[in-house]
Structures are given as structure tokens and as C-alpha cells.
Structure 1
Amino acid sequence: MAERNYTVVTEFFLTAFTERLQWRVPLFLVFLSFYLATMLGNTGMILLIRGDRRLHTPMYFFLSHLSLVDVCYSSAIIPQMLAVLWEHGTTISQARCAAQFFLFTFFASIDCYLLAIMAYDRYVAVCQPLLYITIITEKARWGLVTGAYVAGFFSAFVRTVTAFTLSFCGNKEINFIFCDLPPLLKLSCGDSYTQEVVIIVFAVFVMPACILVILVSYLFIIVAILQVHSAGGRAKTFSTCASHLTAVALFFGTLIFMYLRDNTGQFSEGDRVVSVLYTVVTPMLNPLIYSLRNKEVKEAVRKALSKSKAARRP
């Protein structure tokens, strides 16, 4: 057999959304505005929760960590995306690509775990209200959050090490918005069976496990809501869970589309749009979702605005 010559790739060239020059400036401005809104909304949520004693409860404790993760999650992806658009494609070294892949996997995994933890918290609050303060203690909530961070780090470390043991050669163009495993597999020139097994394991054991916890928790919650006799009581109970369900549907729905389907290594414009939903849009919308449908958060916002106005008065 004739030997084939390969050029070993040590850097990649990101080109997502650069096919049409007329889109460059509008997309740059849109993504920049989304990023600024994400930073403002999530940092505002964190400061609001820390500053208002009425929000010093387990539910808002978990929400503050979700906002923190969303800030980090967006910062790992969007600045690089802005550079791609501004420069009409940009070169990224293999080390930087690995770092971005690690950070994305780390924070995305924590997001999955936190959404599952928040569903369990709502289950205890609705179904076992008398035992809530004895089950969701300060020690328990710190343990759950620490477990999410540790599990996220382990998942990211294993996937990153596994992915970057691949040999990359020949084509170095990544027509995607960041360094993710599916486009990296497309550029590999060796046997990627092990790496493909890792992505399947992540998809089968992380996302579905978290989704299972969420579904079981809300199954019990729905049963409990149906047993409430007054319509007002049912509406009040459900309103405390509606925001979380919306965030879950947005985040997991787009991830399932990208990871729990046949991966052919081909990425359409629609795939890139879906990836924008879970990397850019969802972190931006989470503060709005949790504030617009949450009475306590809206009251805390009004209180903070009133204090701000009073401080500006001479």
C-alpha cells in the first residue's frame, strides 16, 4: 500500500459564521450585546441574592451558583466567537483549543448537575415541606454544589485528555463556533473509536442521568400539585417550578439535539445556530426566566431600585 503523507496540525482555524461577509458586523454586534446582557443579568442576580436576606434560602443559593457558572460558561465561548467574526476567522493553538474545550465541558457539566439539584430541591420543598429545613441544610447544599463542581471537573478532565490524544493532520479548519469534540473528531486522522466512546458515555450517563432526576422530581411534584384542593394553591405551587422547567427545557433540549443523535461529523448552519442557543442564548435568558416569574426576585429588584433612587437624591 502506498504511504500517505500528512502534515501534523498544531493549530486550528475557526471559521464559523464567516461564509458571508455581510453578516460579520451584524452578528458581531448581536453576540456582543448578548454577552453584555449575560454578564449584567447573571452578576446582577448574584449580587441581588447576596444582598437581600429574603433570598438567603437554598433555592436561591443554587440559583446564584447557576448564575456564576453561566458567567464563566459564556466567557469561555463568546469572546473567542467575537474574535472569529471580527477577524473573519481566527487561528487558535491546540493548547488554547484544549483549554476552551475543557472549560466548556467543565461548566456545561456543572450546569447539568445544578439543574438536577434544583429540581430535587423543589421536590423536597413541595412534597416534604415539613422536613425541608432538616434535609436541605447548609451542609447538605454545600455538599451538593461541591459535588457538582467535582463531578464537572472529572468529566471535563477525562474528556479533554481523551480528545487531545487524537492525531490531527491535514485540514485544520473548524467550521464551528468553538473547539468541541464532534468537529475535532472530524479533523482526526487516526482511530477515534475511544474518543467516540467517551462522547457517547458523556451523553448517556451525564445528561440522561440529570434528566432522569429532573423528570422523577417533577413527577412527584405534579402529583403533589394535583392533590392541592384550591386553584390558587395549585397555581402558586406550580409558579415556583415553572421558571426552572423553562430553563431545563432550553438547556437540555439543545444539548440533546447536538449530542444524542447520529454524529456524522458534518455540521450545517442549523447545527451552528443550535449551538448558539445553548452557549449564548440560554445563559443570557436564565436571569430573565427566574426573575420575571418569581415574586421574591421581583420584590428584591424593586427594593434594590428604591435604595438606588434614594441614594441618588440630594
Structure 2
Amino acid sequence: MDKENCSSLPELLLLEITNNPDMKVLILTVFLAINLIVLIINIGMIIFIKMNPQLQTPMYFFLSHLFFSDLSYSSAIGSKMLIDIFSKYKTIPLLFVPFDSFFVCIFIDVECVLPAVMAFDQYKAISHPVIYAIDMSNRVCYQFLAGVYLVGMTDALIHRTLTFCLCFCESHEINHFFCDIPPILLLSCLNTQFNELMIFTIFGFIQLSTISEVLVSYCSIILSVLKIHSAKGRFKAFSTCTLHLTAVAIFQGTLLFTYFQPSTSYSLDQDKMTSLFYTLMIPMLNPLIYSLRYKDVKETLQNLENKRWCK
């Protein structure tokens, strides 16, 4: 269909997760609990890192921004989803959708790219400890962080511009709990192959680059760790690397499954379930996976506990 023959929709309608009133109460309770946990644990870890001098290192600098990213996109999506469960009007003006989804896309991209920077930081700390302070100075850390956000902003701007240049002339109902790109593309009566190609190319490049950087960094770390004579030291290094790789694999694997499915096998119900996992569960798990395994975090918490009991 030619673009001249279709009319634009003034708003989009997000469909309910369920029409069952009893299930709505259960879903509201569960999602509210998860959102509160995400809010408390991520804000708590950010404040904890900022307030403790022992944690003013590049790794914790990047971790605090990872937690901020978790908190930002999870709160934006989770709060809207909770409101929509009992809201009578679930429509979103089409004019506001690009701005709403733009920031979500930025923080999801930050969540993708930042672990690669953290893996590089770990590589520098373990393989080149003598010059580590120079290689990962405050200036370098801020440059890395600016680059991460620039990648997210560029990706979000390209996809959102291409998506909302399309024409939506049929149904305006989105079988999803937030305005993600794949379900929106299904509403267009125009050919969306170029949009799908851009998703595959740009997001695929980001994913491939991130995963490759993480694997190369940790392979180098493992080679350095094997030179450690202490079996206890090797075990600690390997356990930390394993946890980080697990966190990256879970998040990246979920995104790959969501955005790189063949269009013939794409299912909105399946997409909603995987999206729920990476938008709500992963932000809750990341602080536990990344932070609580670090010895200095445990020691700082123990010191604070001891001071409390001594008062």
C-alpha cells in the first residue's frame, strides 16, 4: 500500500495482560513487589557505592551506572504497566510514543554495552595492574561512559525515527505492555523490511561487538589467572568471571531471542514473556550478581554492621 493511501493513527492502545479480575490483583501484587525490590535494591546500591570511599574505583563507577540503567528502564516500563492494569484508558498518543520509547531504548543499549566496558576494566586490573591507574583514570572512565550513552542515543534515534515515519492504518492495538519496536511494526500497512533490516544490522552489530569484547577480555583474564600460583586466588577470580559471564549471557540471550526471531515464528505473547524477564527480573538480579560477590563490598557491609553494634 502506498503511504499516500493510508491515514495516521492519533494514538496507540496497549492491551491488558489479562481480563480476569482475580488475576489482575495477583499480577498487580507480584509486579508491585518486584518494582519495589528493584527500586530499593538499585537505589540502595548506588547510594552505598557513592558513600563509601573504598568503592571509588572504575569498576564500581561503572556498576553504579549499570544499576542506574536498570532502575531507569525498569521503573519506566514497570510503573506504566502497573497503572495500565486497572486504568480505564490505556491509550498513548502517537506523538508521545517515540519520546517514551526513546529513553527506554537508550538504557537497554547501555545495559548491553556497559558490561563490555566493565570486562575491559577487569582485564586491565588483572593483566596490567602496574599501569591500571593510568589506563583507567577518571577521565578515561567518563570517556567510556559517554561513548556508551552515545551508542544508546544513536541507536534509539535511528530506530524510533524509522519506526514512526511508518503509517499505521489498520489496528491501533498493541498486544504488549510497552511500545517496543517489533509489535509496533506489525501495525503498519507499509513494507517494514527496511526497518527489520536496520534492527538486525545495528542492534546485531552492538550485540556482536559487546559479546566479542566480553569474551576476548575474559579469555585474556583467564590466561592471566592461570599464572596465579595460589589455588584460592584462581578460584576467586574464576568464580567472579563466571558470575559476570552468566549475567551477560542471560541478558544478551534474552535480547537476541526477542529481536532476532524469524518473522514467521514471531509471537507477541512469547515476546511479552521474554520482555517481562529482561525488564523486571534482570534489574532485580544484577545487584546480587555483580556486587555481592565482591570481597570489598562484603567487607564494607561487615564494617558498617560492626559499627552499628558497637554504638
Tell whether the 8 Å contact from 1:239 to 1:294 is kept in structure 2 after alignment.
no
Tell whether the 8 Å contact from 1:98 to 1:164 is kept in structure 2 after alignment.
yes
**Relative to 1, partners in 2 of residues 1:308 and 1:73: Cα closer, same or farther, differing over 3 Å?**
farther
Q: Residue type matched to 1:65 in 2?
A: H
- Aligned twin of 2:205: 205
Whole-angstrom distance in 1 between the partners of 2:299 and 2:236: 16
Whole-angstrom distance in 1 between the partners of 2:16 and 2:278: 16
Note the 1:163-312 alignment, pairs <5 A: 163-264=163-264, 266-307=266-307
Whole-angstrom distance in 1 between the partners of 2:16 and 2:148: 31
1:30-61 Cα offsets, whole Å, 9 max, x none, are: 11111111111111111111111110111101
Note the 1:1-314 alignment, pairs <5 A: 8-87=8-87, 90-264=90-264, 266-307=266-307
Tell whether the 8 Å contact from 1:66 to 1:111 is kept in structure 2 after alignment.
yes
Tell whether the 8 Å contact from 1:126 to 1:237 is kept in structure 2 after alignment.
no
Secondary structure at the aligned position of 2:186 is classed as helix
Root mean square deviation, CA, Å: 2.2
Whole-angstrom distance in 2 between the partners of 1:195 and 1:268: 18
Tell whether the 8 Å contact from 1:16 to 1:174 is kept in structure 2 after alignment.
no
Gaps of 5+ in 1: none
Cα offset for 1:273?
1.3
- TM-score w.r.t. structure 2 length? 0.92
Secondary structure at the aligned position of 2:95 is classed as helix
* Percent of aligned pairs sharing the same letter: 39
Tell whether the 8 Å contact from 1:121 to 1:136 is kept in structure 2 after alignment.
yes
Tell whether the 8 Å contact from 2:7 to 2:167 is kept in structure 1 after alignment.
no
Cα offset for 1:6?
5.5
Whole-angstrom distance in 2 between the partners of 1:181 and 1:99: 13
Tell whether the 8 Å contact from 1:71 to 1:283 is kept in structure 2 after alignment.
yes
Cα offset for 1:228?
2.3
Gaps of 5+ in 2: none
Secondary structure at the aligned position of 1:64 is classed as helix
Cα offset for 1:265?
7.9
Q: Which moved more, 1:256-265 or 1:94-103?
A: 256-265
**Relative to 1, partners in 2 of residues 1:143 and 1:33: Cα closer, same or farther, differing over 3 Å?**
same
Whole-angstrom distance in 2 between the partners of 1:128 and 1:156: 35
Q: Which moved more, 1:208-217 or 1:295-304?
A: 295-304
Aligned residues: 309
Whole-angstrom distance in 2 between the partners of 1:56 and 1:242: 24
Q: Residue type matched to 2:53 in 1?
A: R
Cα offset for 1:223?
2.0
- TM-score w.r.t. structure 1 length? 0.91
**Relative to 1, partners in 2 of residues 1:44 and 1:309: Cα closer, same or farther, differing over 3 Å?**
farther
Cα offset for 1:94?
1.0
